[in-house]
Structure 1
Amino acid sequence: MAVITFLSDFGYRDHYVAAVKAKVLSLDPQVQVVDITHAIEPFNIAHAEYVFGAVFRDFPEGTVHILAVDTQGCKRGKFHATKYKGHYFLLADNGLLSLLTDGKPELVVELKSDTPYAPSPARDLLAPAAVFLAKGGDIDVLGDRTNNIKQLFNRQLRLSDHAITGHVIHVDRYGNLITDITRDSIETIAHGRTFTVHFGRETIGRIYPNYNQVDDGDCCCAYNSEGQLCIGINKGHAAQLLGLGFDSQVDVRFYPGS
């Protein structure tokens, strides 16, 4: 049986997470449910896309993922099951699917429901579908195939011979600013040239292996495990201290010579 993961914006104060898990276990007590997080900011599709996109590929192919974020975000009450890169996603038609797959999911079905506008779609619709798929069920049994999904679009990097312009796409709990600028994009444009990173009123001329390579309170740039350029302050909260946050602009500028 495949693993089921669970990510939501339900938080940890109420019974909502337990209710979904109870439904899963009532259908199959042997299923393994792995929590990714339930601290996604309420209704925040961009937050969910970053967190889930950073980790789902680490799970084995065939894993089934319940993505219960902004589950009431579609007025038409549409929910989808999709297959993408060997994984199954179950989620509302709120644009998250298009962000995770760059608008190109391999296969999408619109979930059939006996109770339209269910008060708890994660419990009543997504959980049973997840158990069905985890036990090897055919996704086409869950509904009719569709190409009609809500489209949202990720920001694209602006690249030139001498600069990259990107944006902050996530602020983690330590206040580090994660950008959409990647190691690969910098190395491709640099061709061995020196460069500086510009954000707010700050300029950094070096990328460090990690934040503790600078003194406490100092700002630095580093790559995370996904190869994304990050801005942090050693033992400090960069977002608060720099006055930057989601969608703040970050520039990398390249200079002649090496």
Structure 2
Amino acid sequence: MALLTLLTDFGYRDHYVAALKARLLHLEPALQLLDISHAVEAFNIAHAVYVLSSVYQDFPAGTVHLVGVSDLGRGHGAEPVWHAAHYQGHYFVSADNGLLNLLCDGRPEELISLPPPGGSNLASPTRDVLAPAAVRLAQGEPLSALGPPAPDLHQLLNRQLRLQDNRITGHVIHVDHYGNLITNISRSAVEVVGRGRPPAVHFARETVRELLPHFAAGEPGAAVCTFNSRDCLCIGIGQGHAAELLGLYYDSQVDVRFVAD
């Protein structure tokens, strides 16, 4: 039986996580469950995508990932839709809210529509729609047994880097628990555009002219720029909360500049 991971915005104060796990274990008592997080910001698709994309490939192939974030999907009066997908050897079940499109940077390799629950009760689509589908996948059922091929997928766009001869313009894509700012500027982009020239990272009213190997290499209270394990450029404050101290948050602009040849 495949491992089943859980990623939701249910939080830890209420009974919602326990109710979801109770439902899953009722469907399959031998299920292997592992929590990724239940502290995704409420309805924050970008946060969920960042967390999931950072870790799902570390799990064994065939793992099923149940994502209960903004689980009524597109909203704005549209009929809710839920999907199950196969992508890079993993299975995902989620509402049609743009998450799968962002995670896969397009359409997954296989995508099916999950049938809605009987009746009009949509109090918890994660429990009543996504959980049964996730269990069936973990039990080894093929994706095609869960529903018909999905005709379309809700589209959201990832922020794209702007590359120029002497400059890279990116944005903050995540603020972590410590207040560090993770950007969409990759190490490879810095190397390709920089061509061996030293970079200067510009954000808010700050300029950092040295990339350090890790956050602890900086002085307490000083701004630090480094690459994380995913080779994303990150900004932090030594022993401080960078987002609060710098006034930068999700989607804030960050530039890397190089002296002209």
TM-score (norm: length of structure 1): 0.97
SS at structure 1 position matched to 2:134? helix
Structure 1: runs of 5+ lacking an equivalent: none
1:227 and 2:192 matched: no
Offset of 1:73 from its aligned partner?
Answer: 3.3
Cross-structure match for 1:165: 169
Offset of 1:8 from its aligned partner?
Answer: 0.2
Cross-structure match for 1:174: 178
Whether contact under 8 Å (2:73, 2:81) holds in the other structure is no
Q: Distance in 1 between matches of 2:121 and 2:204?
A: 45
Per-residue deviation, residues 181-222 of structure 1 (Å, max 9, x unmatched) = 011110111111122000010000111011111211111101
1:41 and 2:41 matched: yes
Whether contact under 8 Å (2:202, 2:256) holds in the other structure is yes
Cross-structure match for 2:50: 50
Cross-structure match for 2:110: 107
Per-residue deviation, residues 64-87 of structure 1 (Å, max 9, x unmatched) = 000000012333121000001011
Cross-structure match for 1:72: 72
Whether contact under 8 Å (2:171, 2:254) holds in the other structure is yes
Q: How does 1:105-184 map to 2 (within 5 A)?
A: 105-115=108-118, 118-184=122-188
Offset of 1:147 from its aligned partner?
Answer: 3.3
Among 98, 103, 107, the alignment partner of 2:101 is 98
Per-residue deviation, residues 160-195 of structure 1 (Å, max 9, x unmatched) = 111100000010111100000011110111111122
Offset of 1:117 from its aligned partner?
Answer: 5.2
Cross-structure match for 1:215: 219
Cross-structure match for 2:202: 198
Q: Distance in 1 between matches of 2:155 and 2:121?
A: 21
Offset of 1:111 from its aligned partner?
Answer: 0.3
Q: Distance in 2 between matches of 1:147 and 1:241?
A: 46
Whether contact under 8 Å (2:96, 2:153) holds in the other structure is yes
Offset of 1:124 from its aligned partner?
Answer: 1.1
Cross-structure match for 1:86: 89
Q: Which segment drifts farther, 244-253 or 109-118?
A: 109-118
Q: Counterpart amino acid of 2:82? A: F
1:247 and 2:254 matched: no
Cross-structure match for 1:12: 12
TM-score (norm: length of structure 2): 0.96
Taking a change above 3 Å as real, the CA distance of residues 118 and 201 of structure 1, as seen in their structure-2 partners, is same
Q: How large is the RMSD of aligned CA atoms in angstroms?
A: 1.1
Q: Which runs of 4+ in 1 moved over 4 A?
A: none
Whether contact under 8 Å (1:221, 1:231) holds in the other structure is yes
Offset of 1:35 from its aligned partner?
Answer: 0.3
Structure 2: runs of 5+ lacking an equivalent: none
Whether contact under 8 Å (1:222, 1:231) holds in the other structure is yes
Q: Distance in 2 between matches of 1:147 and 1:251?
A: 39
Q: Counterpart amino acid of 1:106? A: E
